[in-house]
Structure 1
Amino acid sequence: MKRRITNTSIHRQRVKSSLSLMGWLLPALESYCHDEAMFLKFYTYLKRFFTAALYFNYLAAYLIIGLFRKRVLLLNYTALARHLGCRMTSASLIRLIQQKGGSVVFPFPLIYGKYKLNALPAASGIDLFAENYLKKNILFGFLVAICDVVVLNGEGNIYEYADWKNGIVPVELLLQAYIAKKKYNKKVLITNHSFDFIRNSGGSFREYIQLIYPQLDALIVRDRRSYDRLMELGISQVSLSADAAFLTSYSTDVRRRDHLMKKIGVRKEYAVIFLKTNVAEIPEVNLSGMIKLIKNTLNQEVILMPTTDSESIFLRNFRREAKVVDFNYSIRDLLDFLARASFVVSGRFHYCIFSVLARAPFLPFKSNTDKIEGLVDELGYPLRTMDFLRYNEPEMLANFNYLLKNRQSLRELLGGRIPYMQELASKNIPEAFP
């Protein structure tokens, strides 16, 4: 006699994580299968079938739309998919590509460190590296082959290399750009890029840059310092933009929501603090000193907002000193919250941009590169970057007082610069799409 399989927690979890199209098959499967092992076997086969069908539909759409629009393979760094900066930048690039005649039907996901190979002592070995990479990543090679243009989102750590136990290996995004150009002869753009050659000048990195960058069809950088560095290297196909996150849609004229304020329980004027990329470098005593200064001297409530899981862990030690917010919030809620803040402190590049969009006066701190300095220069912002590693209380207090005293004029300054920065950001994809 057949035994009906009950909806155990295991089955429920599998159904929730599967394709919605399979929901109507569950009762039939339970009736047909004799035991749980048989159920799971059939369930797995069906799930693979529907997944393959979904990918086939993506591919069909990609090829059909390619008859009318340029097919674009967008390469993104997705390891920090919860990071709002990554999400807003990627979404803005996709909209730009669509506005300028392209179609991103199948954006290819990428996580650094996913693929490792033995040491390459010099850039002369990159072709062997590329061949082995394509053998391990057949889907990537296929997608490059059928696309018209490869657009690489150049934010983040594209310009770094990893020094693993087996030696120095070029970053995966840079290798993918090389493969698309050299192996498939596709048009390749690196856009939304920051280039810090001085900090990363050792090992094989210089050789890789000098080999790969001149072969690309376009290099679009988001600050003048990167532009100048590339021009000094003789790379002429470089142009200037601003970060694509500036294209995030937001208007201070729309009635602001107070979701985050209610969630956090803010009762008075407040200041918001974002940390920096390398959060482990920040001395806890320095952050404690800043919190006390803002609370006791300026009479502001302090809100600490982590942007990654590692920052959430780091900030656990500060829950008695300030309010620490979980970063599960929408971009609209964040911008509304920043727009109400007295001021913002940020060593995070994209969160400085979000402060600009919210017209929130901010005190910039150094990040892992000088991209925040480049942003401050382009904005014509009156405050220079400070450093979390060097606690200078008199200078910090003077800057905080300046922010409070000149709140309205700084809001007007930032609001006035937004159209210019958005116009620059729209240049991340050329008008004459290749």
Structure 2
Amino acid sequence: MKICFVNDSTSQNNWGCRATTYAMYDLIRQTDAEVVSVVKLGALNGVGMDLFSLKSRAISLLKEYAYDKPRLRASLRFMQHAARRKRHGKLADPVTLADFDMTAREVQAGRLFPVTRAAIDQADLILVNGEGSIYNFEKKGRMTLFWMYYAKKYAKKKCAIVNHTVQLNDPRMLEIFKAVYPILDDVVFREPASYDEAMRYFPYLEEDLAADAAFRWKPLMGDHFLESYGRLGACSIFPYDAGDFDPSKPYLCITGSSALVRAEDKDPIDRAPFFELCARLKDIGGQVVVVAPDITDETLLAPVAREMKLPFLPAATPLGIGLDILANARVFVSGRWHPSILASTGGTPSVLFSGNTHKIAGLGRLLGLPDASIDAKRLGDATPQILDMTRRFLDEGEVRRSDILARVAGHAKLAERNVRCLMS
């Protein structure tokens, strides 16, 4: 079977994007199917993703500069959307089912998105790695739905969406969801909050709930970990420094959240809660390693790590290093979905605070973690709660870690459901 893999996110400066796409490819390789074409996440967002082009790098640098300047970021976002619409009009950004049909006819006629159309034409089945795209009224979610609609109704292809979260908190997205999901050949959710939400509209089966492919990663542990990271500078990623981090001694990790440093945020970045958290965590857990699995976390936390002289791992850290550091931590304080999964593969419990969707609540259920309902934008208020949960996990030690590892083993097996449509 020839596959068009939609939402390849390996070129994103984000540990989780890379982790889940590589894991999905590994699952596909264990079947008789062949990936003959891909659609990058950048294409779903309406931008080119030639990582090494001058234009791509310039845009990336400008965005990074603007993360800490809300007004400039909002202006850039407005100009970017205006430029896209000027080039193709509303057809390049369909927002209703009627728009879907108009855009689909333009694609079919060869007047719009010829590269994506060619990728779909090559395949027998369109396999969509949904991840966390379908929420609010995000363009990447709308375009994911559009290409599934086009693939089924116009290209007459088999189509499945797997490995994904869906949060239908916008009535416009809900309307499209109700039209697209019933015509798909397979649907597989990655966590129970999304499964429960979809069950409100369609009678999905227990077998339609799986787990994220990232649960299949295997970190270096114990002596193998110490052998790899005990060398001087082994965790220092230029231009940042891991300082005097000693992997032979206990340590905690902390990161940000997908709910923070959003493009639509109007207020300046508030780092004060992270300064306090890092200081308090250091008092109870010894070493604190600050990690930035996404470029937004880097913008948020690099100044914290630099001022407090804490080891820091940036977004460009090789995935294997990030995996191993998280998996060997005693506790991870996190509002990030994939990094918390990577941590769990070594048994590390996460003190979870909110992300940009209900996926974090779903992850807590998967890992048997207490639901603290901590709002990422009110971390200062939740500092005592976070510290109490951290102490609890430290006290539980290997009992908690063993429970998490047992759950991870089950989820790694369940993740195989993401490619069940390739086995029929």
TM norm structure 1: 0.75
Where do residues 353-432 of structure 1 align in structure 2 (5 Å cutoff)? Answer: 353-382=341-370, 384-390=372-378, 391-430=381-420
3-state SS of paired residue (1:405): helix
Tell me by how many angstroms 1:409 deviates: 1.3
State the match for 1:222 in structure 2.
190
State the match for 1:149 in structure 2.
125
Where do residues 239-278 of structure 1 align in structure 2 (5 Å cutoff)? Answer: 239-250=208-219, 252=221, 255-256=224-225, 257-258=228-229, 263=236, 264=242, 265-267=244-246, 269-278=250-259
Q: Distance in 1 between matches of 2:370 and 2:134?
A: 30
Q: Distance in 2 between matches of 1:79 and 1:93?
A: 11
State the match for 1:5 in structure 2.
none
3-state SS of paired residue (1:358): coil
Q: Distance in 2 between matches of 1:422 and 1:252?
A: 18
Q: Distance in 2 between matches of 1:377 and 1:151?
A: 27
State the match for 2:154 in structure 1.
183
3-state SS of paired residue (1:136): coil
State the match for 1:313 in structure 2.
299
Q: Distance in 1 between matches of 2:400 and 2:141?
A: 42
Give the fraction of aligned pairs with identical amino acids, expressed as a percent.
24
Is residue 252–residue 358 contact of structure 1 (8 Å, CA) maintained in 2? yes
The C-alpha deviation readout for 1:113-162, integer Å capped at 9, x for no partner, is 33654276742232102223452222322232231100001012234424
Where do residues 17-416 of structure 1 align in structure 2 (5 Å cutoff)? Answer: 70-78=1-9, 81-111=12-42, 112-114=45-47, 116=85, 117-118=89-90, 122-133=96-107, 135-162=111-138, 171-197=142-168, 199=169, 201-202=170-171, 204-234=172-202, 236=204, 239-250=208-219, 252=221, 255-256=224-225, 257-258=228-229, 263=236, 264=242, 265-267=244-246, 269-280=250-261, 283-295=270-282, 297-298=283-284, 300-318=286-304, 319-321=306-308, 322-382=310-370, 384-390=372-378, 391-416=381-406
The C-alpha deviation readout for 1:84-114, integer Å capped at 9, x for no partner, is 2111211221222232221113323241133
Q: Distance in 1 between matches of 2:200 and 2:370?
A: 28
Tell me by how many angstroms 1:77 deviates: 4.9
Q: Distance in 2 between matches of 1:79 and 1:432?
A: 22
The one-letter code sitting in structure 1 at the alignment partner of 2:413 is: E
Q: Distance in 1 between matches of 2:405 and 2:204?
A: 33
Tell me by how many angstroms 1:80 deviates: 5.8
Is residue 214–residue 235 contact of structure 1 (8 Å, CA) maintained in 2? no
Structure 1 range deviating more: 181-190 or 264-273? 264-273
Is residue 131–residue 163 contact of structure 2 (8 Å, CA) maintained in 1? yes
Instruction: Pick 1 or 2: higher relative contact order, CA cutoff 8 A, min separation 6.
Output: 2
Unaligned runs of 5+ in 2: 48-83, 237-241
Higher-Rg structure is 1
Change (3 A) 1:425 1:217: same
Is residue 333–residue 350 contact of structure 2 (8 Å, CA) maintained in 1? yes
Change (3 A) 1:328 1:212: same
Is residue 253–residue 331 contact of structure 2 (8 Å, CA) maintained in 1? yes
Q: Distance in 1 between matches of 2:235 and 2:115?
A: 46
3-state SS of paired residue (1:351): helix
Change (3 A) 1:84 1:125: same
The C-alpha deviation readout for 1:41-80, integer Å capped at 9, x for no partner, is xxxxxxxxxxxxxxxxxxxxxxxxxxxxx00000015386
Is residue 74–residue 153 contact of structure 1 (8 Å, CA) maintained in 2? yes
Report the number of matched residues.
Answer: 356
TM norm structure 2: 0.77
The one-letter code sitting in structure 1 at the alignment partner of 2:245 is: V
Unaligned runs of 5+ in 1: 1-69, 164-168
Q: Distance in 2 between matches of 1:121 and 1:332?
A: 39
